[in-house]
Structure 1
Amino acid sequence: MSQIEEVVHDTCEESEVLPVLPLRGLVAFPEMLIHFDVGRLISMKALEQSMQDNQRLFLTAQRDIRTDVPTTDDLFVVGTVCTVKQILRLPGDNIRVLVEGSYRAGVEQFSKEDDGCMRARVFRMETEPGRVSERRKEALVRALQDRFEEYAGLASQITNDVVMTVLDGGEPGYLADYVAQNTPLAYETKQELLEELHDVRRLERVVRVLGHEIEILQIENSIQDKLKEQIDKNQKEYYLREQLKIIQTELGDQDLGEEVEEYREKIRALHLDEAAETKLLKEAGRLEKMQPMSAESGVVRTYLDTCLELPWNSTTSERVNLKQARKVLDRDHFGLDKVKDRIMEFLAVKSLAPQLKGQVLCLVGPPGVGKTSIVRSVAEAMNRKYARMSLGGVRDEADIRGHRKTYIGAMPGRIMTALTQAGSKNALILMDEIDKMGADSRGDPAAALLEVLDAEQNNAFRDHYIELPFDLSDVLFITTANTLDTIPRPLLDRMEIIELSSYTEQEKAEIAMRHLLPKQLEHHGLKKSNLALSRDTMVYLIDAYTREAGVRRLEQQIAKVCRKAAKIIAEDQQEHPDRKTRKRVTVNRSNMESFLGTPRYKHDNVTKKDEIGVVNGLAWTSVGGEMLQVEVNAVPGTGKLEITGNLGKVMTESAKAAVTYVRSAAEKLGIDPMFYKEKDIHIHFPEAAIPKDGPSAGVTMTTAIASALSDIPVRHDVAMTGEVTLRGRVMPIGGLKEKTMAAYRSGMKTVIVPAENEPDLQDIDPTVRENVEFVIAETMDTVLQTALRRPAKDGKTEAAVVTDASVQPGKTGARQGELC
């Protein structure tokens, strides 16, 4: 300030005293018009005094705009002497003043009078044009014009008149003041420009200031553009959401907030443990923050809906009325006593110990015997909800445990799905065809079932999709299988095996008359009075048109009969529309071919006379037992052994063992010990198109070889089964019930069974036990003694093999040496 005063004194010749009007945030420039509002007392006094002193006053800026009553130290010492042009009184106490700047002035001394008006002795400050060339001045003016035009394009408050005035040009000092006056710069910057007395340097500073302002405005405009774009987007989304709300209201849909709150209420109503409830509430909170139409919100909704649909606390009251449960089981199924007894035992224990858990049953048997259907009846008998899941062909572990939520199209596993379908935490879940599961690179589903079927682990089963522990200990799992060979041992150990054997003809007839025929009559729109089919006819249908362990094929044949009958009745009604009663169709053995065609199965393939080298064997198949004849022929040769009939490795090895045994017992059997060098033996099993394997044909092949080499015929009414060792011991076999049924159907009078299978005779059908005699054999001596008969000279027969044991008639289950 002292330097300015020195310059002022050097350049000024005269001074004058003028009233001072402090400006807040404003700077007045010479030769410029400026208007402002006056409201403070000190400013009012200055304005009044100026009107008395030729309308002139001194305008200077405050150093701090927040000061309401400035002192001399609060004011800049360089300002502008101005002339008042216009005064306009505004509503209230404010006054709007229009002034015109005359010249720059510096303050020699401030003073304050008693009337409250601040005065200052000021002196004129002359500006210097600068000692620069005209070309530099012109260049600076052009630079200013370019910068200001660019600045005006960015600053919306600059009017076109101001721009045109600058573009018209002029002296550097005037242009600098004009631009500074009409540009919204900071008042500190304007004060610096006002104090600059050198015109050219002042113009250069204005150009620099404009360049700085242009950079700032460009950044501000960029920010504003982005902000406007975001605001436009938000406004658009807001508008669309409001429209969506109105549409949802019209359609009756819920708002997202209401939907999330409803989820929270449902979650709390489940009364889950703290960890599970916290996780579900967290998922609901995530949904609330998402866009309603986003793909992720759909994933969260699906997850919450799936979790809430699970029967976390829903159960059914279990029936413990044993009589009622037995009544339901007997109503729906004939036979199957083992299964029914096991279910009744389970219910009895449950009534005494309700806390009992972890029961897993596995029903094993051939197709069509009623494994799946009886489970449904068990669920009804126990008053449990029923759900079925088929495991046939399942190869992916995720089918049991579910997929992770992160995958597209993820879903829970079959266990959780079955529980959701059942709607009960203590449901009965049927795992059908558990022996048909496979394994590949995606995991082994059988390994995943180890946890499900283990009562020590399944009380906190975690599905990969649900990710919450679920208690499966109250679920009763029942599985079905056709064979146990393909079930992994660890999984098999977790299940209690209940074997279901094939039905006898009498059982099939009973099932058909009680259940299958009424069912098919109803399905085909017939009544009992429309179709006459006796029990004897049904037995013939079973014997001539079906060969199976169960009754599935039988039901198909009955349906075929009903269709034919329905066609006859419908045609008759159309020919005689006036007839009030329907025609009655009778089906019997004589007209069965017109309904079902030529009989498919005949039992005349069993020889009716004793033959050499032909033995009736017994085999087990998936559809029940079958008669399997073995033919052996011994011809002169070099000792070759030929085995035909599409046999497997095990059966081929049994044939070799049979030949070795016959060689060891050749002398006892009356056979040339050198037959293995002089005879070629050919063993053949008819029906070569069907693969055959297993060790149970050992005694059959041994008997046929012994008969062929000794020329002793084999009894045609004897059938046998059992594995043979090199020393002639008869080993146990499986499927005895089915094999004995096949023997009974083929008209066998005697069946030879291994001694170790004697306990299995208790499970033989009563009809078979009444009509077939059983010989219990521990060694081949008993088998050959029973099957081979050498004609005697007097026309009677005698035993082909004589042992120390006596041969006497006896009852079923006789020991070695006894003939039944």
Structure 2
Amino acid sequence: MLKLLSSTSSRVHCLTTPTPSLRIKQEPNSVFYALGRLTGLTQRSPKNSFFRACFCSDSSNGSGSGSGSQPAVEVDEKGAESQSGSDSKASSAIVSTYPKPEDYLTVLALPLPHRPLFPGFYMPIYVKDPKLLAALQESRKRQAPYAGAFLLKDEPGTESSTSSETEKSVYDIKGKELFNRLHEVGTLAQISSIQGDQVILIGHRRLRITEMVSEDPLTVKVDHLKEKPYNKDDDVIKATSFEVISTLRDVLKTSSLWRDHVQTYSQHIGDFNFPRLADFGAAISGANKLQCQQVLEELDVHKRLQLTLELVKKEMEISKIQESIAKAIEEKISGEQRRYLLNEQLKAIKKELGLETDDKTALSAKFKERLEPNREKCPPHVLQVIEEELTKLQLLEASSSEFNVTRNYLDWLTVLPWGNYSDENFDVIRAQTILDEDHYGLTDVKERILEFIAVGKLRGTSQGKIICLSGPPGVGKTSIGRSIARALNRKFFRFSVGGLSDVAEIKGHRRTYIGAMPGKMVQCLKNVGTANPLVLIDEIDKLGRGHAGDPASALLELLDPEQNANFLDHYLDVPIDLSKVLFVCTANVVDNIPNPLLDRMEVIAIAGYIADEKMHIARDYLEKTAQETCGVKPEQVEVTDAALLGLIENYCREAGVRNLQKHIEKIYRKIALRLVREGSSNESVISGEVVQSAEAKAEVDETDQHAAANETAAEVESVGNSSHELKSESSVQTSDQPKDPKDATETEKLKETETSKAVEKVSVDASNLADFVGKPVFHAERIYDQTPVGVVMGLAWTAMGGSTLYIETTEVEQGEGKGALHVTGQLGDVMKESAQIAHTLARTILLEKEPANPFFANTKLHLHVPAGATPKDGPSAGCTMITSLLSLAMKMPVRKDLAMTGEVTLTGKILPIGGVKEKTIAARRSEVKTIIFPSANKRDYDELAPNVREGLDVHFVDDYSQIFNLAFDNNTGN
């Protein structure tokens, strides 16, 4: 409610000199008695004088100056009038020899910037104007110690809450400007004392300015104001005054700032008049100056009491808020103090019992206990580092940042599995069984793992290896890694480096960085808990490169068998032995792997699957997984071989089986939905269903046997009908929300009937396959049933697998010397060069075979390679282009069941190509019977599985002349 002005210490000396003694009328039952006590305290103690001067201040002025202090203490008017000066002496009798206050009609005008002065209260101000201060001193000498104190109006254009005028700026205003800035109603104030520039004023009565007499110092004529007549016995005035007193008493309970004065006034209410009560409440309140000025200007006693009541009510609310804030802070502080005391007591008890251990000791004990099982296996240099860090930890303060860095460092050092290896499986038969259970085919990969196990069994121990599995997506490169770990009885850890561009992800961050962490390999060893896990580095061909370094170069140390025995992580900064770790990397295209990194890996190529292999995988692996995922039992569904073959050939032609798995799961989801709509459920008890007793069920079956039979017959008749589906959905909704017990019984009967009926097995074959997976995505790769002139089928290979590639050539224009070749089909530079070589070689061969045929010299040709939207490049289509050009020149089509591939030179030699298996699979898919490969690829073809080579007539050639004889000598197929 009441605020204490934060006055600067520089002005304390101005208040230390006691004010002249005031003769106080000692009436025991009056507020003046309390003020007399305050005056006596002031005279006895300079310190109390300072606090009295700063009492009941307005905190709106942050300058801390004395004029901002608006103290309020009631004094006896008669006693004040008897004050003559600082050298006057107290006397037991008061003789009035000076003019009365009401006789002063012309007074000096004192501007008050922050708060008005109320009658009966005193206020110290600081006068910075020398002329005004001299005039006040002269008035005291002339035994006329009175002046008018008027509140200064706010400067135009500013708000009272933001106004912060200082004494200096107030006294810079002179004359008429100052006169216009003063409020009309003020207070006649007695000049109690002047010490330096400090003037103490005591309010006597209300004044109203009438006119200005002089400008510097400002002197004005005034009228003395009196309260309007009022009835002391008026009930409304009494009630309002009692409410003011009651509110002041409430304020007493929360604020002790003015407790003495309010207690005195409340206990002796009968000795005070109502106007003085209103002035007292407004003076001690913390209201702003305009509200206080409004109380000062009000001459109606009842209205003045009402205004005062509003002010003290606001003070009470502020006091309550202040009390709640203080209470909350006190509770918080007391809670913290209580916790501190309990902790100190706990430490003292532990010290007495000999159980005292601080945080650092407990951490050290924890690290030593964690390291103890592997201490003998731990390398000596690591033990030395751990001991040094433990000693360092004891010397550091727990609140320092270095303490947390050392603690985290020790945590990583002691948690790693130093010398801790898992027991490996050297049983080749068991490993073979595990690998066959998880994957079909992948003979090369399985053979390499079995070789690894066999070597380990003969040596009695195994060393780490770096294997790279390359192949198109979906062939099982990533999943085979987990199967290898299970076959070897090793822990498995996988992390992908696709798009990785920060070296710190592999080798860790320096400990000097905030939030530093070890690299992926150290995290791997912590997670698996052994030093010989199987680490699968996925998508190694998609490594990125950024400003933080080249991760491919960082992997050189990790994947080099000669270096990874002392792999150095930036965070740990101690060598780690990774020589026992088996690294398995995966990649789609080996060409994207940097050569130094590729040189350190053993590459095993995984080609795509042919249709027969996909059939086995779908039957033995994918179907079982889809049945478990969708909750469908094997006896509820039948997927025929024709359906699977149609799915493989028309929907899933990619080299892998990932897309095939998605389509099989889609089929089983559709089947699950159909089964549920037909009333089938594979759960014994449905969640939320009330299970009836056997007797109740028997009764229901007996009662509704006939209705159930009819309904079953109706449902069997309308299987697959949309109206039946609507009916089933309606029955389900009815069973979920029965309207009454009778409906609930009927619903339960319906449920029993539906679950008891026999649901027909869902069959998926080639005829209804489109109902489950939609229209076919792929169509036959063979564009021509009968190969026309100038068209030859080639073979191509991509990361997605093999495919057929048609080469089409046609005549554009004929004429003497117009021989030229134009190519289209998004061909790369290498393929365009192959077309030019083919054109040159074809002219040479044609001159040998038909010297009189000037076709290439006089014909402009157009060579196209569909599909036009697919980018193509590579040299392996050279022999196919030559054959296409010769077919057009000699007007002879090639065999329809023939496909060829091979790079050709200008002299007609056939060079080897890649992707033999993928191209062979693509030829089988297009019903090709005869394939021409370069002789250098014969070894690759011989390594293919028998089921891939079955039914194919493969020719291996060294020169194009052999291809010419195979392509054109036998045309009976057309």
2:627 to 521, 526, 532: 521
Q: 2:497 aligns to what?
A: 391
Q: 2:928 aligns to what?
A: 748
The 10-residue stretch of structure 1 (631-640 or 346-355) with the greater mean CA deviation from structure 2: 631-640
Q: 2:675 aligns to what?
A: 569
Pick closer, same or farther for the CA change 1:671–1:586 going to 2, 3 Å. farther
Q: 1:33 aligns to what?
A: none
2: distance between equivalents of 1:735 and 1:615?
19
Q: Secondary structure of 1:642's partner?
A: strand
Q: 1:363 aligns to what?
A: 469
2:366 to 253, 256, 262: 262
Q: Secondary structure of 1:465's partner?
A: coil
- Cα deviation 1:664-696 (Å, max 9, x = unaligned): 222223265644442111110111111100011
Q: 1:622 aligns to what?
A: 799
Answering whether residue 646 of structure 2 is matched by residue 472 of structure 1, we say: no
Q: 1:688 aligns to what?
A: 868
2: distance between equivalents of 1:428 and 1:614?
51
Q: 2:891 aligns to what?
A: 711
Pick closer, same or farther for the CA change 1:786–1:246 going to 2, 3 Å. farther
Q: Is the 8 A contact 2:506 2:521 kept in 1?
A: yes
1:312 to 408, 418, 421: 418
Q: Is the 8 A contact 2:374 2:417 kept in 1?
A: no
2: distance between equivalents of 1:532 and 1:600?
23
Pick closer, same or farther for the CA change 1:243–1:778 going to 2, 3 Å. farther
Pick closer, same or farther for the CA change 1:403–1:611 going to 2, 3 Å. same
Q: 1:611 aligns to what?
A: 788
- Matched ranges for 1:775-790 at <5 A: 775-789=955-969
- Cα deviation 1:608-653 (Å, max 9, x = unaligned): 1131010001000111110111101123242232110001111111
Pick closer, same or farther for the CA change 1:605–1:255 going to 2, 3 Å. same
Q: Is the 8 A contact 1:700 1:721 kept in 2?
A: yes
- Cα deviation 1:328-361 (Å, max 9, x = unaligned): 1111111111111111111111100134524211
2: distance between equivalents of 1:242 and 1:267?
36
1:379 to 485, 488, 493: 485
1:764, distance to aligned residue in structure 2 (A): 2.6
Pick closer, same or farther for the CA change 1:651–1:242 going to 2, 3 Å. farther
Q: Secondary structure of 2:590's partner?
A: coil
Q: 2:287 aligns to what?
A: none
1: distance between equivalents of 2:342 and 2:779?
79
1: distance between equivalents of 2:850 and 2:528?
70
- Matched ranges for 1:270-281 at <5 A: 270-271=374-375, 272-281=378-387
- Cα deviation 1:233-261 (Å, max 9, x = unaligned): xxx999987756789999x9984421222
Q: Is the 8 A contact 1:400 1:415 kept in 2?
A: yes
Q: Residue type matched to 1:406 in 2?
A: T
1: distance between equivalents of 2:337 and 2:903?
85
1:382, distance to aligned residue in structure 2 (A): 0.9
CA radius of gyration, larger in: 1
- Cα deviation 1:9-62 (Å, max 9, x = unaligned): xxxxxxxxxxxxxxxxxxxxxxxxxxxxxxxxxxxxxxxxxxxxxxxxxxxxxx
2: distance between equivalents of 1:432 and 1:374?
12
Q: Is the 8 A contact 2:883 2:964 kept in 1?
A: yes
Q: 2:764 aligns to what?
A: 587
Answering whether residue 775 of structure 2 is matched by residue 598 of structure 1, we say: yes
Q: Secondary structure of 1:577's partner?
A: helix
Gaps of 5+ in 2: 1-334, 351-355, 681-727, 729-749
2: distance between equivalents of 1:603 and 1:245?
86
Q: Secondary structure of 1:666's partner?
A: helix
- Matched ranges for 1:242-253 at <5 A: none
2: distance between equivalents of 1:477 and 1:641?
51
Q: Is the 8 A contact 2:781 2:804 kept in 1?
A: no
Q: Secondary structure of 2:751's partner?
A: coil
Pick closer, same or farther for the CA change 1:712–1:341 going to 2, 3 Å. same
1:503 to 585, 590, 609: 609
2: distance between equivalents of 1:267 and 1:648?
61
Q: Is the 8 A contact 2:902 2:910 kept in 1?
A: yes
- Cα deviation 1:127-166 (Å, max 9, x = unaligned): xxxxxxxxxxxxxxxxxxxxxxxxxxxxxxxxxxxxxxxx
- Matched ranges for 1:421-436 at <5 A: 421-436=527-542
1:669 to 849, 854, 864: 849
Q: Secondary structure of 2:804's partner?
A: strand
Q: 1:193 aligns to what?
A: none
2: distance between equivalents of 1:727 and 1:556?
49
Q: Secondary structure of 1:485's partner?
A: helix
1:531, distance to aligned residue in structure 2 (A): 1.8
Q: Secondary structure of 2:523's partner?
A: helix
Q: 1:657 aligns to what?
A: 837
1:604, distance to aligned residue in structure 2 (A): 5.7
Q: Is the 8 A contact 1:268 1:277 kept in 2?
A: no
2: distance between equivalents of 1:783 and 1:244?
95
1: distance between equivalents of 2:559 and 2:367?
32
Answering whether residue 444 of structure 2 is matched by residue 338 of structure 1, we say: yes
1:583, distance to aligned residue in structure 2 (A): 5.2
Q: Is the 8 A contact 2:370 2:415 kept in 1?
A: no
Pick closer, same or farther for the CA change 1:660–1:693 going to 2, 3 Å. same
2: distance between equivalents of 1:458 and 1:501?
31
Q: 2:828 aligns to what?
A: 648
Q: 1:540 aligns to what?
A: 646
2: distance between equivalents of 1:609 and 1:671?
29
Q: Secondary structure of 1:631's partner?
A: strand
1:268, distance to aligned residue in structure 2 (A): 5.0
RMSD: 2.6
Answering whether residue 811 of structure 2 is matched by residue 634 of structure 1, we say: yes
Q: Is the 8 A contact 1:569 1:583 kept in 2?
A: no
Q: Secondary structure of 1:288's partner?
A: helix
1:494, distance to aligned residue in structure 2 (A): 1.2
1:732 to 907, 912, 920: 912
Q: 1:82 aligns to what?
A: none
1:294, distance to aligned residue in structure 2 (A): 4.7
Gaps of 5+ in 1: 1-235, 799-820
Pick closer, same or farther for the CA change 1:514–1:632 going to 2, 3 Å. same
1: distance between equivalents of 2:346 and 2:679?
59
1:308, distance to aligned residue in structure 2 (A): 2.1
Q: Structure 1-normalised TM-score?
A: 0.65
Pick closer, same or farther for the CA change 1:356–1:673 going to 2, 3 Å. farther
- Matched ranges for 1:11-160 at <5 A: none
Pick closer, same or farther for the CA change 1:345–1:657 going to 2, 3 Å. same
Q: Secondary structure of 1:665's partner?
A: helix
Q: 1:329 aligns to what?
A: 435
- Cα deviation 1:440-464 (Å, max 9, x = unaligned): 2221111111111222211111110
Q: Is the 8 A contact 2:379 2:418 kept in 1?
A: no
Q: Structure 2-normalised TM-score?
A: 0.55
Q: 2:942 aligns to what?
A: 762
Pick closer, same or farther for the CA change 1:651–1:245 going to 2, 3 Å. farther
Q: Is the 8 A contact 1:714 1:789 kept in 2?
A: no
- Cα deviation 1:287-338 (Å, max 9, x = unaligned): 3344435544333332222222211122111111111111111111111111
2: distance between equivalents of 1:241 and 1:777?
92
- Cα deviation 1:48-91 (Å, max 9, x = unaligned): xxxxxxxxxxxxxxxxxxxxxxxxxxxxxxxxxxxxxxxxxxxx
- Cα deviation 1:701-740 (Å, max 9, x = unaligned): 1110111112111211100000011011111000011101
- Cα deviation 1:413-437 (Å, max 9, x = unaligned): 1111122222111111111111111
Q: Residue type matched to 2:751 in 1?
A: P
The 10-residue stretch of structure 1 (390-399 or 750-759) with the greater mean CA deviation from structure 2: 390-399
